[in-house]
Structure 1
Amino acid sequence: MDSAFPKPRSGYTLPVFACAGAVAALRCLVHEGDRPATVTLDLLNPPQSAEIPINQLAPLPDGSVLAITHSDPGDNLDLTRHTPLWSVVAWGGDDQPEPIQLEGGEGIGRQVDRENAPAIYRYARDLITHNLTPLLPEGKTLRVTIILPEGRALGDRTSNAAFGVVDGLSLLGTSGISAPLSAPGQLDQSRAILQAKAAQYPHLVFCLGENGLDLAIKLGIEGDRRVKTANWLGPMLVEAGQLGVAGVLLLGYHGKLVKLAGGIFHTHHHVADGRQEILAACCTAVGAELPVIQSVLGAKTVEAGLEILRQQDEPLAQRVYQHMVDRIDERAAAYVYAHTAQPLTVGTMVFDRQRQIVAQSHLAKDLFDQVLVD
């Protein structure tokens, strides 16, 4: 690996820091003199331990205990870096339905499609329950509240609203490890994976992240043909062209892949945006009326723009999205040829926040057949 890009450092996901704080607070709640500077957790996934520093710890006047940790996502371009997580632990009531009740406080987002339930997902709940249960005295119940003081402001800078989460961040993830997918050194590792797969298969599927990888399996795509690209779509497409790959199926969330229709081949929000502008340009290309174009341009998210189109004219929405995915194919193939002088067939399938396919290009239909499980 090029010495300019040393192996990127992994970090931990937000649920890990929330759990570490809860463990430290519970230990102090049980024994006031126990105020650990670090705690060791079982991450469950992967099956390994992690030692997490506790920045502050204090009993509160109401009898609860507050522990504060700070997020460390490793060598990632992550807006939650160093953000504080507060874990407040208190004894529960006798009528509490579960021994450990997990609640979302300020800065934890609300899931609008689940009756405003806190955006604390399964891995976070399992991790906290698993690590706190052995420390819970017999006959006692516990109430754990996770607070992200900066969560509401940070949430406004993400695409959470497109996935139905408002007023904060999610305790999201299926693993305790935050893999450095946006760090420059990760690109070299991703290229090595691509090289190995290109030697086996002429047709591959590029997925930006876990949503695409999971959906690919559900669609019947052969698992080993999947390549996780993170935000490095441009370099990975060029690498595929240089390796002589016959075709690449792009499978991703439309709010990310729409950038490629505008010639943006690094999809991290720190690098470039312009998604509503690109969607509005696609509306123009298929002859949408000016008021519709203006409404799409003014939408807060691409998902909101799509909803505007559907409300105005469902056939128009389909034409816009068909133009978008076909345009992505064209721009991607031209991008690869410009950098390699090699042809690469690219097809595009995009899904919405419910993981439903909303459009596929004409080339995607043929490529999809090539990557299905035999």
Structure 2
Amino acid sequence: MTQREQQPDGKMRYGWTTGACATAATTAAYTALLSGEFPDPVMITLPRGQTPSFALTKHERVDEQTARATITKDAGDDPDVTHGALVTSTVTLIGGDAVVFAAGEGVGIVTKPGLPVAVGEPAINPVPRKMMCDHVAEIARRLGHPGGVRVEVSIEHGADLAQHTWNPRLGIVGGLSVLGTTGIVVPYSCSAWIDSIRRGVDVARATGVTHVGAATGTTSEATVRALYGLDEGAMLDMGDFAGAVLKYVKGHPVPRLTVAGGFAKMSKLAAGHLDLHSGRSSINLDFVATFVEDEALAVQIAAANSALHAWEIARDHGVPLADRVAAAALEKCRSVLGNVQVEVDIVVINRAGDIIGRAK
């Protein structure tokens, strides 16, 4: 875990999305084309009415028709992979009043259905597109231009950064997505992760995937893929967000869902926790002990040093504790899904990736 991934103590600083940065850069470049001056700092209006200002990192008037401006993304105290990235908008005047978007270096292209942007389009999401269009329209009205522009957004090193995101799995090739629904990055809200889970379900449904795997980590993902022969595109990087998966699948059903993870996290799910993060839920060994009929053994399990130790004690006494935890986790999944017709199974693994419990 890197330093930026460690949640700091005390009040945390908010940041700005790539969509907000692209909007600020577009606003500065288009204003310069019509007025001859780059506003620096450049102020924009976010979807909820906030009006932040952004300092320009670079700006250039290429010719009479084209200008570009660059903003350095500040993600605040959030461990955002794009923190410090250079977001550039190159704006070119064209005929008419339409805003045409293009993917520059480091911005991906959508290649699979199911995403909020059509196949073949730059991976610039609807809210950032609307923000840029709204700002272009306001500048055009104020400075007397029809408003027809080509907006090319690029993100320095975006292709490399995208390898640390879900984009390759979602079929977004060549770079990052330009994201943001509010323009603001809330530290450790994990909104981008949860949104990626949802987009993964959407893409699976749109591409005809009938069996989706949701895993807490790379080891459990590898186990599920090998067990069922699933392609990478069928896997959801669930992490600790079991509730995000289940609630979204409830509204967007898939025929079959496998939920997989280690014994500790699956015991949390069995106990009713939908957020499996260690900082937001804890392992209840007294609860785990209720799956053991022998009172003396149950006392040992309740007093174990860890969930793994509890499982080892049960294993040494021939008690299929992981299977029983899996069955309880399956019951919790079914309670969240309600009457939605999704076939669910649970796979519990040890640290080596061996299957130690199952329920289906």
Name the TM-score, length of structure 1 as normaliser.
0.57
What is the CA-CA distance between 1:159 and the residue it aligns to? 1.4
Whether the 8 Å contact between 1:79 and 1:154 is mirrored in structure 2 is: yes
Aligned to 1:277: 222
Structure 1 residue 366 and structure 2 residue 335: aligned? yes
Say whether residues 1:135 and 2:139 are aligned partners.
yes
Residue pair 1:41, 1:51 contacting (<8 A) in 2 also: yes
Equivalents in 1 of 2:198, 2:111: separation in Å? 25
Residue number in structure 2 paired with 1:352 = none
Aligned ranges for residues 196-235 of structure 1 at < 5 Å? Answer: 209-210=194-195
| Matching residue within 68, 85, 90 for 1:88 | 90
Aligned to 1:203: none
Mind listing any 5+ residue stretches in structure 2 that lack a counterpart? 1-7, 113-117, 201-211, 238-254, 291-328, 340-360
Residue correspondence of structure 1 range 86-235 to structure 2 within 5 A: 86-93=88-95, 96=96, 98-113=97-112, 114-136=118-140, 137-181=144-188, 209-210=194-195
Distance 1:50 1:304, change over 3 A: closer
CA gap of 1:138–1:163, structure 2 versus 1, over 3 A, is same
Partner of residue 317, structure 2: none
Residues 42 and 80 (structure 1 numbering): CA distance in 2 closer, same or farther, change over 3 Å?
same
- Would you say the 8 A contact 2:21–2:87 is kept in 1? yes
Within 1, Cα distance between the matches of 2:287 and 2:198? 25
- The aligned residue for residue 42 of structure 1 is 45
Q: Residue 235 of structure 2 aligns with which residue? A: 303
Distance 1:211 1:89 in 2: 29
What is the aligned-residue identity percentage?
Answer: 22
Distance 1:102 1:64 in 2: 14
Give the whole-Å Cα distance in 1 for the aligned partners of 2:286 and 2:130. Answer: 48
> What does 1:26-37 correspond to in 2, within 5 Å?
26-32=30-36, 34-37=37-40
Q: Find 1:13's aligned residue among 8, 14, 17.
A: 17
How far is 1:99 from its partner? Answer: 2.9
TM-score (norm 2): 0.59
Distance 2:176 2:259 in 1: 33
Cα displacement string for residues 219-267 of structure 1 (whole angstroms, at most 9, x for unaligned residues): xxxxxxxxxxxxxxxxxxxxxxxxxxxxxxxxxxx67x502xxxx6xxx
Q: Does 1:343 align with 2:343?
A: no
1:123-168: CA deviation from partner (whole Å, max 9, x where unpaired) = 0111001112111123352221111131111112211122221111
Q: CA RMSD in A?
A: 4.1
Q: Specify the structure having the higher radius of gyration (Cα).
A: 2
Q: CA deviation at 1:112?
A: 0.5
